[in-house]
């Protein structure tokens, strides 16, 4: 029970001290209420202007980052296109070489077949010689 009573008394003394402190603060304030309100309003205006300025700076900085990122992506895309074009040119070169090799081999095979056919026909037209 005494703990409750001392807690209540402590709270009461705290509130009394708070009230006395507020009263002394108002009595000895260096500025009037009007001046204090004007100072608070001025501080709020300065704070909002500061926030606007920082917001503009942040927006500009973000814009610069976006522009730089866009530039880098364009560079990477350009490099990618160059690599693809080089690969495509190499592929077309390999395909052309392959076609030339196939055509060359096809011509050789055709020539060999024609030579074999001519040899066969030459041997087929000769009369058979008697074997002794």
Whether 71 is in a domain gets the answer yes
Whether residue 4 is contained in a domain is answered as no
Question: Residues 117-131: pLDDT tens digits?
Answer: 988 888 877 665 666
| Residues 106 and 113: beta-carbon distance below 8 Å | no
Domain count, the chain: 1
Residue 18 in contact with residue 10, Cβ under 8 Å?
no
Instruction: Give the confidence band of 132 by pLDDT, cuts at 50, 70, 90.
Output: low
Structure confidence by residue, pLDDT tens digits, 73-101: 999 999 999 999 999 999 999 999 999 99
Q: DSSP secondary-structure letter at 57?
A: H
Report if residue 129 sits inside a domain: no
In a domain, 24, yes or no: no
- Indicate whether 6 pLDDT > 70: yes
pLDDT tens digits, 32-69: 778 877 877 888 888 889 889 989 999 999 999 999 99
Please indicate, yes or no, if residue 12 is contained in any of the structural domains.
no
The answer to whether residue 126 is domain-embedded is no
What is the end-to-end Cα distance of the chain in Å, rounded?
Answer: 150
Higher pLDDT, 9 or 88: 88
User: Looking at the domain assignment, is residue 26 inside a domain?
Assistant: no
Q: Output the pTM of the full model.
A: 0.44
- The secondary structure of 47-101 as a DSSP string is HHHHHHHHHHHHHHHHHHHHHHHHHHHHHHHHHHHHHHHHHHHHHHHHHHHHHHH
**What is the greatest pairwise CA distance in the chain?**
153
């Amino acid at each position: 029970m005494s703990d409750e009573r001392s807690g209540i008394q402590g709270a009461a003394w705290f509130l009394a001290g708070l009230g006395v402190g507020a009263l002394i603060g108002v009595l000895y304030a260096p500025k009037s209420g009007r001046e204090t309100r004007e100072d608070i309003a001025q501080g709020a205006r300065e704070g909002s202007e500061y926030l606007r300025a920082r917001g503009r700076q942040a927006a500009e900085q973000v814009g610069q980052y976006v522009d730089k990122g866009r530039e880098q992506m364009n560079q990477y895309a350009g490099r990618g296109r160059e690599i693809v074009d080089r690969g495509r040119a190499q592929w077309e070169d390999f395909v052309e070489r392959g076609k030339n090799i196939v055509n060359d081999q096809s011509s050789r095979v055709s020539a060999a077949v024609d030579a074999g056919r001519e040899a066969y026909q030459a041997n087929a037209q000769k009369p058979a010689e008697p074997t002794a």
